[in-house]
Amino acid sequence: MDNPTYQKPPYLKNICKLSHVRWAIWLQHNHTNWRVHEYWGLNKKRLETLQAFIADSQVSMRMTGSLATDRMRSNPTGWAADVLGCAYIYIFPEPKSQMVLIAGADQLEKTAQSYLRVLAQAGIPQPVIDFSNQQFLTNFLEELDTGISYDLHSGLDHTLQILYRYISCDTICIGLRYGENLRLEATLPAQTRDLEQQVSVKSGILEQIMSERSVMIVEDIANGQACPLMVRHPVDGGSWMGVPLWVGRRVIGVLFFLSNQPGAFSSQNAEQATIIATHLSPVIETSMALAEASMQLEKMALLNELASAASISMNADEVAARIIYRLKRIFGTEFVSILLLSKNRKTLHEFGLSDPRSNPFTVPVESSLSGSVVESGLPARTGDVSTAARYYEYTKGVRSELTVPLKYRGNIIGVLDLQSTEPDAFSLRDEQLLVVMASQLAGLIENIRLHEETRQRARNLDMIHQVVQGVVGLTHIPEIAQVAAELMAERFTFELALVILVDEKGENLRIEGVGGEVSSEIMRGLSKPIEVGIAGEVCRDGISRLVNDTSQNPVYTSLPGWQGCSEMCVPLKEHDLIFGVLIVEKSHKDAFTENDLLVLESLAGVLSSVMINARSYQRLSVNLRHLQAVRETALDISADLDLDTLLTRVTNRARELVGAKGAELGLVNAENQTVEIMVSENPWEGYSKGLVIPFNHGIAGTMAVKGQTLAVDDYDTWAGSLQLGNPAPFTAVAGVPLKYKGQVIGTLTIIHDEPNRGFDADDIRLLELLAPQVAVSVRNARLYQELQTLMKAERLAKDRLVRSARLAAVGELSAGVAHELNNPLTTVAGFVELVLDDLPEDSLYRTDLELVLKEARRAREVVRRLLDFSRPGDGFRVRADVNDLVGDVIALVHHLLHTSGIELKTNLQENLPWIQADRDQIKQVLLNLVHNAIHAMPRGGTLQIETRPEAHADVQGVTMRIRDTGLGIMPENMGRLFEPFFTTRPPGEGTGLGLSVSYGIITDHGGIIDVDSKPGKGSTFTVWLPIQSNKALI
């Protein structure tokens, strides 16, 4: 607050006593402070306290508000109450001269308020100008001199306020010459809206004033000319006085006094104005020179500072802050922005950050004042943004705006934008100055921007390198994704960074890596369909997306716990195959630029290569593990040639290798077109073991026909599933065919019962690697089994040949012995019969002779059997039904079986093919075998007789089995069973010829007789006879 000029005028004292106020003071608003003019009732201490009190911004704003609204206001004195001696100050405005009358009182009655309001409206009594009084003139000129300032407008405002007190008028203004134009620089009252901002010095009456350098008075506007700086006069009439300001022969400006009344200005006023102008002109010229020098220094300081900043590689934020700081000082506003045009020329982006705590903003070209400047290339200035055709609000409370283009080498690269919360805050001179500064700043800003882009690219490359260094060497894809997301968020300050990969089926996107401040809110492993969201679009077309306002993008989908406002999404590719996306987000709009998208695409390319290499390494590792597993399995199964053991071992090994719950192995029967499940290793006991599956049914039957690998995630819903009556106890099934030389010889199947747990490509690949080795091993085991069968058959044939040779030798011996014994036995029997015929019935010798006859006949029967054994029979062979022969034998032994406590069970298959045989000989064989079985079960038991068709060595025939539950045969006796005279019965109970005779009969029919016996378990005799005998039918 400036020092007072006057102190205790009597009128002020009288009105204060009349109104019962403690004190009163006149203050004049001078832009930045309040100037004291007159006061009463204030001592030095009270005046200093009042000055400190009104220096408070809130009190000063209240006083300014009173001037703006032309209404009385009050304000409590608060901390200053004791010194000021009152509880309130009452503010009475006088807007015309920008003055207020302040009165101090505890409470002001309405009558007192009316007195003070009238006094305020009347203003300070106008002093009488008496330039003839040397003391008055000296004081007046000294007061004018105090207006000299580096701030031209402040000095001019001060000058007008002084003149306004001495010369009675309604409006006073001053225009200064700039080239061929006279530009309005200051008015009082400041709210005057009817003045032209700039006019040509060649315009009529203005040219006359300036050329003649004399005062011109227009007594009535209605009959004369209007003031050159006035668009229209507020009333129909009025008068004005123009006073030229000259220094030497140069007119530097014109001072205009305007009144709403005609004839308001006299010749005395003209004389007074001439004296004032004579002294005021050099003062104003000095002020103009100082202001121009100050402005040039400011401009040079700005350019030098920015050039210095650029030379030491200062970053864009620092340069922007310095430019904005200087422009704020020069133009007296708090809102300065440097906006650069985007590459697509659709938006303007803030250059640097004047405040590091704020976020950069974007202004649309098509709907903003700055955009119109870009399109037209011309400056734009508005004193009221609400009336502007195009205005975009990015700063709250703005009333006026000034925007000039930034041009570099003829191209518009952006704009300088000034905004203010005050209306009409920027003048034409501000516009012209800003244009000059913009032309010099454009090149510097462009160079700094390019330099900053280069530095930023270098930093981006370094940060990309840091991210890549963090993931290089990792081989686990989820780990790479997580580490990459964390490093991206940390190095590039993304609030959210996501690495999302496509699942194996290509149906869903799964979050594998999460980084950023909100990473704790996002769940790893979260999946969503591949067609959803911006990520879905990128996966479909492979084109990166930059979205700076997600609320305007209908495709954007937010994640639980997070809502982003800006998003970038780029694809992860392997050639043309998209296997994932990178997503980064921030919580504010317009967060990303095209350069940011290029950086993210570069990072995605490098990260794609890292992931591809990791996948290749994983596949190689898996393949090595698979090959090792197959090798170990091959070594394991190749060591065993037993087919049943081999199949079991293969099944268990396959189940263990893939971690399946169960596994099955089946062999193909091409003749029957079926697959028989030989081994089933699973927790569902007996579910499929022994199951015979037709071709084209189930997994095994389908693979047997198609010869292709097959995998099903839900078996029950699969169209080819076996319908066994109940839902399958498992879900996922996968299998491979076992091929040998292109022919499917079996199937290997693995199964699992966990929901959503299928078999992946690695599992299938492992089975496919294992299948060829298994097929070869199964084939080898089968060949080995067939070889063993052939060798066994060869041994049996050799045994039979030896046995036949032995029997032939015995037969020849028996024939000789029989002939030698038969004659004596016939003689003995004949003579004993003759003696018995002649011997009385009661002879003591009859019993002995009958015994002799009996034994002779028995010996002759043995001799007959020896003869039968030694020579082939000459029986008739006819077509016979084996079941009929069995029935005849059962009828003969039925009573003996019953009395021996033996249960008979038969299983005679119907419709057996008939054989060619000697019916009596075959019945003799059956009778011998049944008698042997009865003797083997002395305590009773079970006798089973069964018949069935059966092929042997590709020859069709009929098999008969006689199975008992008797004592069984000792292993050491098995090789001698068919030898003549060999018997295990006690002496006198058997001849030992029954089995040897039976053997001969069956062999003679081209058949086979075999025995299987275990001590204590019983014996089974198997007789096989061909349908077609090798002897002709007689």
Token duo for residue 682: 């699973």
In the CATH scheme, what architecture does the domain 313-457 have? Answer: 2-Layer Sandwich (3.30)
| pLDDT band per the 50, 70, 90 thresholds, residue 230 | low
The CATH classification number of 472-620 equals 3.30.450.40
Kindly tell me if the per-residue pLDDT of 607 is higher than 60: yes
The two most distant CA atoms of the chain are separated, in Å, by 215
Question: pLDDT value at position 193?
Answer: 45
Q: Report the alpha-carbon distance of residue 943 to residue 420 in Å, rounded.
A: 120
- In this prediction, residues 513-535 reach a mean pLDDT of 87
Q: Report the alpha-carbon distance of residue 870 to residue 814 in Å, rounded.
A: 7
| Unique residue bearing structure tokens 């640097």 | 352
In this predicted model, what pLDDT tens digit does every residue of 1-59 receive, in sequence order? 544 444 445 667 878 888 889 999 988 876 667 878 788 888 889 988 998 999 888 88
Overall fold of domain 872-1026: Heat Shock Protein 90 (3.30.565)
Q: What is the mean pLDDT of the chain?
A: 81
Question: pLDDT value at position 357?
Answer: 47
Give how far the C-alpha of residue 495 lies from the chain's centroid of Cα atoms, to the nearest Å: 15
Closest to 429 (Cα-Cα) out of 645, 198, 773 = 198
Write down the H helix ranges in 381-427.
none
Overall fold of domain 10-122: Beta-Lactamase (3.30.450)
Report which listed range, 38-42, 61-65, 83-87, 645-649, is most confident: 83-87
Write down the H helix ranges in 345-423.
369-376
Closest to 663 (Cα-Cα) out of 675, 674, 647, 676 = 647
Q: Is 203 left (phi over 0), alpha (psi -120 to 50) or beta?
A: beta
What is the 3 state secondary structure string of 237-279?
A: CCEEEEEEEEECCEEEEEEEEEECCCCCCCHHHHHHHHHHHHH
Kindly tell me if the per-residue pLDDT of 1022 is higher than 50: yes
Token duo for residue 187: 């008015």
CA dihedral 600, 605, 610, 616 (to 10 degrees): 140
- In this prediction, residues 421-429 reach a mean pLDDT of 79
Domains 657-871 and 872-1026 equal at CATH topology level: no
Total-model pTM: 0.43
Question: pLDDT value at position 975?
Answer: 73
- Backbone φ and ψ for 820, nearest 5 degrees, come out as -70, -35
Residues 6+ away with beta carbon under 8 Å from 648 = 679, 681
8 Å CB contact between 933 and 1018: no
| pLDDT band per the 50, 70, 90 thresholds, residue 804 | low
Question: pLDDT value at position 203?
Answer: 78
Overall fold of domain 134-295: Beta-Lactamase (3.30.450)
The identity of residue 360, as a single letter, is P
In this predicted model, what pLDDT tens digit does every residue of 723-773 receive, in sequence order? 765 777 788 888 889 888 888 889 988 888 877 777 877 788 878 877 887
In this predicted model, what pLDDT tens digit does every residue of 883-927 receive, in sequence order? 999 988 887 788 888 888 999 999 999 989 999 888 888 888 888
| pLDDT band per the 50, 70, 90 thresholds, residue 146 | low
Kindly tell me if the per-residue pLDDT of 88 is higher than 90: yes
Token duo for residue 118: 């009238």
- In this prediction, residues 441-465 reach a mean pLDDT of 77
Closest to 378 (Cα-Cα) out of 367, 369, 386 = 369
Question: pLDDT value at position 712?
Answer: 86
Q: List residues bridging with 348 in a β-sheet.
A: 341, 363
| pLDDT band per the 50, 70, 90 thresholds, residue 302 | low
In this predicted model, what pLDDT tens digit does every residue of 832-883 receive, in sequence order? 888 888 888 888 888 888 888 888 877 777 676 666 655 555 557 888 899 9
Give how far the C-alpha of residue 825 lies from the chain's centroid of Cα atoms, to the nearest Å: 110
Ranking 117-126, 130-139, 552-561 by mean pLDDT, the lowest is 130-139
How is the chain split into domains, by residue range?
10-122, 134-295, 313-457, 472-620, 657-871, 872-1026
Kindly tell me if the per-residue pLDDT of 149 is higher than 60: no
Question: pLDDT value at position 688?
Answer: 66
3-class SS of residue 913: coil
Q: Report the alpha-carbon distance of residue 560 to residue 570 in Å, rounded.
A: 21
- Backbone φ and ψ for 43, nearest 5 degrees, come out as -85, 180
Kindly tell me if the per-residue pLDDT of 828 is higher than 60: yes
Domain spanning 657-871: which CATH class is it, in words?
alpha beta
In this predicted model, what pLDDT tens digit does every residue of 241-286 receive, in sequence order? 999 998 888 888 999 998 888 888 888 888 888 888 888 888 788 7
Tell me if the bond preceding 189 is cis, omega within 30° of 0.
yes
- In this prediction, residues 368-389 reach a mean pLDDT of 89
CB atoms within 10 A of CB 891: 9
In this predicted model, what pLDDT tens digit does every residue of 327-348 receive, in sequence order? 887 777 888 888 988 877 888 8
3-class SS of residue 312: coil
pLDDT-above-90 percentage for the chain: 14
Check residues 613 and 861 and name the one with the higher pLDDT: 613
Sheet holding 181-188, edge to edge: 198-200, 181-188, 171-178, 250-259, 239-247, 216-218
Q: List residues bridging with 531 in a β-sheet.
A: none
- In this prediction, residues 557-583 reach a mean pLDDT of 89
Kindly tell me if the per-residue pLDDT of 569 is higher than 90: yes
Helix axes 594-638, 761-838, angle to 10 degrees: 20
